[in-house]
Structure 1
């Protein structure tokens, strides 16, 4: 029997046992009290019968047990006739009283008639064998009820606990790394909700495993490519096979690939710190219109090289954000737009009190991809980045509690947006 089953049975049977004992005691008390009242009524009737028999000078019925005290002399009446006895205990009795004689509990009733005191006596109900059957019946009924309750509790407990025991086994298999596990049938209760939560956890673990493998494969590829270029060109320099007039071009290529490696490493570290909560935000009140204008001006020449027009429209907006992190998100949006924008097209940045948008005239983002594009190492079609930019942007925006997304652009491409809501300062 499992520990959970033992606890369940204890939780069910212990209250029943306590309730049964209390019920048995209360029932016995009430039965005895009722029987005692009936016994006193019987004793009163017998005392009156003795009184009438004495008044009419006829014998007392043999089945009546009692005593007659007159002028200090006590006579016993009953089956053996009248006998003089000495019972000092009868002198201090109340009308209804209890006495104990030779270990037996007795009930007494006294009736005074003139100078004569009539005392009738009977065995107390609890000491009466007549009630033994009642107590035995109550006890047997209680014991049978307890057995039935224990059996029913055990059966119900097995039905309740079986999915939990199976779930424990499945959770251990998941912890051991198994993915082909079968969850127990979901009952329509809290256990079913627990099984559903474990099922969702298993799906998330599988997704994270796939994502991790994809991330490792992508990072490995992006690291290998610039390293291969740097190695090949360095070996060519060392071998002296590169003409002198081509040296500037080769060294520029090596520097460019080294910069690509540095950017990839920097983005990977930033993502790792943000995901692990190890990069605290330095929130201050920021003039977003100034931040947007400065960022656009800094990148304008980069867009001009690709013959892409970068336009900006801003309204005064103040927001409590981390200046450096928010700027990073804006740069990520702008660089994605630059990659997507065709030659001779426009990239439009617009800031209003309600949202910030970056629009391009590219091919846009398919409806089915708008949720997954923010995942780690998911690249846009035709993109040349590392697939970390939007994943980092998502973590930054989530940490600020801002709403964000991508929709169709008025320029026929993609429109990345950030909504401010009530967080803005007017």
Structure 2
């Protein structure tokens, strides 16, 4: 059974039940009013009989009482029988007016009336009322009321069925569309959106689903880019190594001194490509540790300027080759709590990015300053460059895994990386309890800052 059918049936049955309860309530209230009217009618009859008996005592006319009781029987058919007992100073006389029909719902009540001038003169009356006759006027009213209730119940049920259908269709339409869109996503058609303008729960569900669809499209794009990057990262150095090995084999076969010297140069290039492969594999291992929550940093007091100076020296030759000035501007600072190997990895990644996007004649620097936050002293380390910079969109996804901005994909030749470096950088900074932020604008360079806690 579909959700729409269940909603229609549930709403319809709920309305039918509500109308049934309402009709039952009306009938119960009507019955209470009828019981009250029946009691009032019975009271009026008893009062009339009692008054007739009193008048006959006062007028000393017993025949008038019998005549009046017969008249009352005609006026009030509910009077089934009246048994009369006259008492006057020990003398008694009886009379009966009417006969109780067989099977009648007769209710008897006794009344004793005395002469106000002579208390020994009494009339004892046993009045039998047929309650079925008393209720007879209400039967037609009840039948008409029942027909009206059934008519209203039927009309409202049909109306409720239509309203239930409309409500169910309105509720299930976006769910049906979401199911269709999910099937398309399952078939590989990513990025689809569903237009549904409402601020209710369904609107929130549609917006969340649209966001998920866009994120899946982004992840698919990231996956494709990652596969392409991984293929390039593996194929380029392996291809170079294979070529150099072939050249070395040829030079060694020739056995000339020049060939041996060139073979040595080729071996150094092979070593460079091996380091590149090793770095790529280490990045993948670090990402796996981060995803499993097993990235660990051994924090102990360390001298930040010494590590920064080592990083500058490491890139000095490459920076000189590209015509870029790299400087360590860190002043004399107190020791910080950090894992020197991981902090070095952070600086290496940031400086390498700066070299990648800074043109000849540019500058890269490492700077830092102290600040206090909530009674704790921190050092903010900044790696800045005068490169091409980034827009806000690229800055927003800078620290996401396997994500690269347009400044990577547009206009950069050579080694482009895999989009893992800055994700690893942020994870390392998080492990140190610090924060990382980026300030950049197109054509105005980039400054990436992270904080480390000062050792006590």
Fold shared per TM-score above 0.5: yes
Equivalent residue number for residue 15 of structure 2: 16
Cα distance change of structure 1 residues 343 and 21 upon mapping to structure 2, 3 Å threshold: same
Deviation at 1:34, TM superposition (A): 0.8
Distance 1:365 1:323 in 2: 28
Distance 2:277 2:270 in 1: 11
Q: Matched residue of 1:282: which SS?
A: coil
Q: Is the 8 A contact 1:43 1:120 kept in 2?
A: yes
Q: Is the 8 A contact 1:47 1:119 kept in 2?
A: no
Distance 2:346 2:389 in 1: 18
* 1:356 aligns to 2:368 (yes or no): no
Of the structure 1 ranges 130-139 and 67-76, higher mean CA displacement relative to structure 2 is found in 67-76
Deviations 1:316-372 (A, max 9, x none): 4766x7776555333322333455486795612314235523233432513344334
Equivalent residue number for residue 334 of structure 1: 351
Deviation at 1:39, TM superposition (A): 0.9
Aligned residues: 396
Q: Is the 8 A contact 1:5 1:157 kept in 2?
A: yes
Equivalent residue number for residue 172 of structure 1: 183
Q: Is the 8 A contact 1:47 1:120 kept in 2?
A: no
Q: Is the 8 A contact 2:297 2:431 kept in 1?
A: no
**Gaps in structure 1 of 5+ consecutive residues:** 88-100
Q: Matched residue of 1:166: which SS?
A: helix
| Matched ranges for 1:230-309 at <5 A | 230-239=241-250, 240-241=253-254, 243-274=259-290, 277-282=291-296, 286-287=300-301, 290=302, 292-305=304-317, 306=319, 308-309=326-327
Q: Matched residue of 2:189: which SS?
A: coil
Q: Is the 8 A contact 1:317 1:352 kept in 2?
A: no
Q: Is the 8 A contact 2:308 2:344 kept in 1?
A: no
Given the alignment, which residue of 412, 417, 420 partners 1:386? 417
Of the structure 1 ranges 39-48 and 65-74, higher mean CA displacement relative to structure 2 is found in 65-74
Distance 2:19 2:340 in 1: 71
Cα distance change of structure 1 residues 128 and 385 upon mapping to structure 2, 3 Å threshold: closer
* 1:405 aligns to 2:437 (yes or no): yes
TM value normalised by structure 2: 0.74
Equivalent residue number for residue 118 of structure 2: none
Cα distance change of structure 1 residues 402 and 13 upon mapping to structure 2, 3 Å threshold: farther
Deviation at 1:284, TM superposition (A): 6.4
Cα distance change of structure 1 residues 349 and 318 upon mapping to structure 2, 3 Å threshold: same
Deviation at 1:301, TM superposition (A): 2.5
Q: Is the 8 A contact 1:317 1:425 kept in 2?
A: yes
Equivalent residue number for residue 119 of structure 2: none
Distance 2:266 2:94 in 1: 139
Equivalent residue number for residue 119 of structure 1: 128
Distance 1:73 1:263 in 2: 131
Q: Is the 8 A contact 2:311 2:344 kept in 1?
A: no
Q: Is the 8 A contact 2:110 2:125 kept in 1?
A: no
Equivalent residue number for residue 45 of structure 2: 46
Equivalent residue number for residue 92 of structure 1: none
Q: Is the 8 A contact 2:191 2:214 kept in 1?
A: no
Q: Matched residue of 1:386: which SS?
A: coil
Distance 1:206 1:398 in 2: 28
Distance 1:25 1:344 in 2: 90
Distance 1:48 1:403 in 2: 98
* 1:59 aligns to 2:68 (yes or no): yes
Of the structure 1 ranges 341-350 and 49-58, higher mean CA displacement relative to structure 2 is found in 341-350
Q: Matched residue of 2:82: which SS?
A: strand
Cα distance change of structure 1 residues 108 and 13 upon mapping to structure 2, 3 Å threshold: farther
**Gaps in structure 2 of 5+ consecutive residues:** 57-63, 86-91, 115-123, 321-325, 372-377
Cα distance change of structure 1 residues 145 and 348 upon mapping to structure 2, 3 Å threshold: same
Of the structure 1 ranges 308-317 and 264-273, higher mean CA displacement relative to structure 2 is found in 308-317
* 1:31 aligns to 2:56 (yes or no): no
| Matched ranges for 1:152-167 at <5 A | 152-167=163-178
Distance 1:312 1:139 in 2: 91
Deviation at 1:4, TM superposition (A): 1.2
Larger Rg: 2
Cα distance change of structure 1 residues 303 and 265 upon mapping to structure 2, 3 Å threshold: closer
Deviation at 1:263, TM superposition (A): 1.1
Given the alignment, which residue of 415, 419, 422 partners 2:447? 415
Q: Is the 8 A contact 1:13 1:150 kept in 2?
A: yes
Distance 1:401 1:111 in 2: 100
Deviation at 1:231, TM superposition (A): 0.6
